[in-house]
Chain A
Amino acid sequence: MRVAEPLRVVCYVNQFFAGIGGEEKADTGPGVREGPAGPGLLLERLLAGAGTVVATVYCGDNYMAGHPAEAVAAVVDRIAGFRPDVVVAGPAFNAGRYGPACARVCRAVQERLGVPALTAMAPQNPGVELEGRGLIVVPTGDSAAQMGKVMPKVAELAVKLGRRVPLGPPAVEGYLPRGVRRNEWAPEPGARRAVAMLLEKLAGRPYVSEVPLPRFDRVPPAPPVADVRRATIALVTEGGVVPRGNPDRLEAARASKWLKYPLAGLADLTPATHEVVHGGMDRAPGNADPDRILPLDAMRRLEAEGVVGRLYGYYYVTTGNNTDMAAAARYGREIAADLLAAEVTAVVLPST
């Protein structure tokens, strides 16, 4: 086996780690330093000849935040000039502008240059949730004081990525789970593994789930509606029910938006007026009768009988299929603000 050539590594850092200055220099535009700077110095030592940091590309955190597309493009252009085998961005720890910037640079490097990239930041850094999907992110603590703890792992993964060695699962290799599932052979059949897990659980002993369930927030419940007969009820759905023709092009998955459509003059939804665009389920029942998802016919009846005060004149819709979690939370907040401004009392939310 011939000895591998040292990998060409390019680092991306912000104005502080590039040695330019602190917050007062956060408006600095993209630039380059030859060789390593900041964390790159430690990285190069840890690479121990397996790689050389040929350049450090930097950009001010404010400049990145204020010119997201243009700044990333300029950074990637500079990175490209050095023909790297791998790009290392950060570590950003819990820095809220730097983290997303690192993630965006990594994604652009991979997509535009086909070069592997990795970054490192605290799991709660907004860069993970907002921009980190699918990227290799080494988890760190909150503080840059832990640089020494994190860089050995960054160096190790940089070498693997640079040499195009396929990475094992997150728990083994030390990066954040990306939601990627890979099939592998287990020594025991699934039924045996499941029963073994169940026996551990029943005995109160620790066990490791093969499919860890995500944890979610608790939400303080809203107080009950005082008098439904005087209430304005709005319908909100993620079932992708839209006016026929989908005039605003609501996506079948990974919805980028929510929409608000009028119900004035309508007492019933039919295939002539509406359609279902949700791509994560069988659309046939909803297309045959959209009231099965957005129950307009029954709500109109309850309104006419005075069981509810009134049905709000608009409904809200998005597609709840592989929706980005942060985006979904934002849609909820925005719809809630709209509902409050319209003085809606309560919401019925049929979901698919």
Chain B
Amino acid sequence: MQITNVTSVALGVGSNRILPARGIPYPCGDPGLSPAAEYQWRRRLLEAALVALATPVREPTVFPVA
């Protein structure tokens, strides 16, 4: 599955499981947060990624991050 800030591009190219990142240069980060909070964000993102991988989809789908 793909983690990207530009979900519209991912949808357009046929990427089927997509998670929204918070920025282009840091798909798994958020430099605006403290290091501890950013790590927690990264972890939540990856947990959501695993949910997406385990979910059947029929077409390009953007998944939420809890």
Binding site for B on A (CB under 8 A): 213, 216-219, 221-226, 228, 231, 233, 239, 281-286, 288-289, 291-295, 297-299, 301-302, 307-308, 346-352
Min distance, Cβ B45 to any Cβ of chain A, angstroms: 8
Cα A18 to Cα B5 in complex, Å, equals 53
Residues of chain A with a CB closer than 8 A to B58's CB? 221
Is the beta-carbon distance between A217 and B14 smaller than 8 angstroms? yes
Partner of B13, one of A216, A281, A291, A292: A216
Q: Can you give 16 A-B contacts (C-beta < 8 A)?
A: A218-B14, A218-B59, A221-B56, A221-B58, A224-B57, A225-B53, A231-B53, A286-B26, A292-B25, A293-B29, A295-B45, A346-B1, A350-B28, A351-B4, A351-B27, A352-B27
Is the beta-carbon distance between B26 and A293 smaller than 8 angstroms? yes
Partner of B29, one of A213, A282, A285: A285
Name A's interface SS: loop
Cα A122 to Cα B37 in complex, Å, equals 54
B 1-14 to A, binary, CB cutoff 8 A, 1 in contact else 0: 11111000010111
Is the beta-carbon distance between B16 and A219 smaller than 8 angstroms? yes
Residues of chain B with a CB closer than 8 A to A285's CB? 23, 25-26, 29, 31
Min distance, Cβ A129 to any Cβ of chain B, angstroms: 16
Nearest chain B residue, comparing its CB with the CB of A223: B56
Residues of chain B with a CB closer than 8 A to A221's CB? 16-17, 56-59
Contact residues, B34-66 vs A (CB, 8 A): 38-39, 42-43, 45-47, 49-50, 53-59
Q: How many A-B Cβ pairs are below 8 Å?
A: 114
Min distance, Cβ B49 to any Cβ of chain A, angstroms: 5
Min distance, Cβ A32 to any Cβ of chain B, angstroms: 45
Residues of chain A with a CB closer than 8 A to B10's CB? 351
Residues of chain B with a CB closer than 8 A to A292's CB? 25-29, 31, 38, 42
Is the beta-carbon distance between B14 and A350 smaller than 8 angstroms? no
Min distance, Cβ A100 to any Cβ of chain B, angstroms: 25
Cα A269 to Cα B15 in complex, Å, equals 27
Is the beta-carbon distance between B59 and A348 smaller than 8 angstroms? no
Is the beta-carbon distance between A228 and B53 smaller than 8 angstroms? yes
Cα A278 to Cα B5 in complex, Å, equals 16
Cα A282 to Cα B31 in complex, Å, equals 12
Q: Most B CB atoms within 10 A — which of A217, A221, A228, A291?
A: A221
Q: A291-B29, A348-B49, A350-B4 are in contact. Are A224 and B56 (CB under 8 A)?
A: yes
Residues of chain B with a CB closer than 8 A to A351's CB? 2-4, 10, 27
Q: A224-B54, A295-B42 are in contact. Are A349 and B23 (CB under 8 A)?
A: no
Cα A77 to Cα B18 in complex, Å, equals 51
Is the beta-carbon distance between A224 and B55 smaller than 8 angstroms? yes
- Pick the 3 closest A-B CB pairs, nearest first: A292-B29, A350-B27, A292-B26
Partner of B46, one of A216, A293, A302: A302
Min distance, Cβ B16 to any Cβ of chain A, angstroms: 4
Q: Most A CB atoms within 10 A — which of B10, B14, B26?
A: B26
Cα A352 to Cα B23 in complex, Å, equals 8
Is the beta-carbon distance between B16 and A349 smaller than 8 angstroms? no
Is the beta-carbon distance between A293 and B43 smaller than 8 angstroms? no
Q: A224-B54, A281-B24, A298-B39 are in contact. Are A348 and B46 (CB under 8 A)?
A: yes
Is the beta-carbon distance between B28 and A228 smaller than 8 angstroms? no
Q: A302-B46, A351-B4, A352-B24 are in contact. Are A216 and B14 (CB under 8 A)?
A: yes
Q: A216-B12, A346-B53, A350-B21 are in contact. Are A295 and B28 (CB under 8 A)?
A: yes
Is the beta-carbon distance between A228 and B50 smaller than 8 angstroms? yes
Partner of A348, one of B3, B24, B29, B55: B3
Is the beta-carbon distance between A293 and B28 smaller than 8 angstroms? yes
Cα A17 to Cα B58 in complex, Å, equals 48
Cα A298 to Cα B50 in complex, Å, equals 12
